[in-house]
Amino acid sequence: MEREEIVAILLKAAGGQMVGRVRLQKVAYLLDRLGLNSGFRYNYGNYGPFSHDLDNAVADAEAFGLVEETFDRRQIDGARYSIFELTDDASRSPSNTGQLNETVLDCYLKTFIEADVTVLELAATANWLVEEEGRDDWQEALRRRKGPKVAGGRLDRAEALLREVGLPPTTADASA
């Protein structure tokens, strides 16, 4: 499986479109944790787990005509964001990869696409703190790293999202 095909598969399963680089990065990271097996390597960045490999895969997918990236601006502050759309040429992409068949991938992606992007960022970061950094104090570390992003019930929603898809951590994990 070529990495640009993985990007096309993600967009296909997401209904042909995904809004935002942060969302795309977090979706790919969480799906890799669930068995996508993309081969992307991740490091910790400002918004949590980040893969330069995925960024390069998006560029390749664009170059091969599988994906189109356009830009828009948020009304509230004018910040620019990406919109990734599957092209008609992407219909030749396979429908599964790793341990995730099309049905499973669709189910996970529905959950991730419906989630607030900040909640998705918090969920991916919480998972990173436990799985990659081995942090028992992941909640405190998350609060320190993400500050006000954890407020307003978003941390609880991030934990609920992780529980829903079966990924650590959960509050029960922290107290065990």
pLDDT of 94 reads: 62
- The pTM (predicted TM-score) of the whole model is 0.92
pLDDT of 100 reads: 81
pLDDT of 176 reads: 43
Q: Does the structure show a pLDDT above 80 at 37?
A: yes
pLDDT of 99 reads: 77
3-state DSSP of the chain = CCHHHHHHHHHHHCCCEEECHHHHHHHHHHHHHCCCCCCCCCEEECCEEECHHHHHHHHHHHHCCCEEEEEEECCCCCCEEEEEEECHHHHHCCCCECCECHHHHHHHHHHHHHCCHHHHHHHHHHHHHHHCCCCCCHHHHHHHHHHHHHCCCHHHHHHHHHHHHCCCCCHHHHHC
pLDDT of 4 reads: 93
* pLDDT greater at residue 98 or residue 41: 41
Q: At what angle do helices 117-131 and 138-146 cross, to 10 degrees?
A: 130
pLDDT of 91 reads: 64
Residue-wise pLDDT tens digits, 60-91: 999 999 999 999 999 999 999 999 999 987 76
Residue-wise pLDDT tens digits, 116-169: 999 999 999 999 999 999 999 999 999 999 999 999 999 999 999 999 999 999
Which residue from 3, 90, 73 is spatially nearest to 41, judged by alpha carbons? 3
Q: How confident is the model at residue 103 (pLDDT cuts 50, 70, 90)?
A: confident
* pLDDT greater at residue 55 or residue 103: 55
Q: Does the structure show a pLDDT above 70 at 173?
A: no
pLDDT of 1 reads: 77
Cα–Cα distance for residue pair 164/160, rounded to 1 Å: 6
Cα–Cα distance for residue pair 88/45, rounded to 1 Å: 33
Strands 80-86 and 17-19: antiparallel
Stretch 24-38: mean pLDDT: 96
Q: Which two tokens stand for residue 81?
A: 């964001």
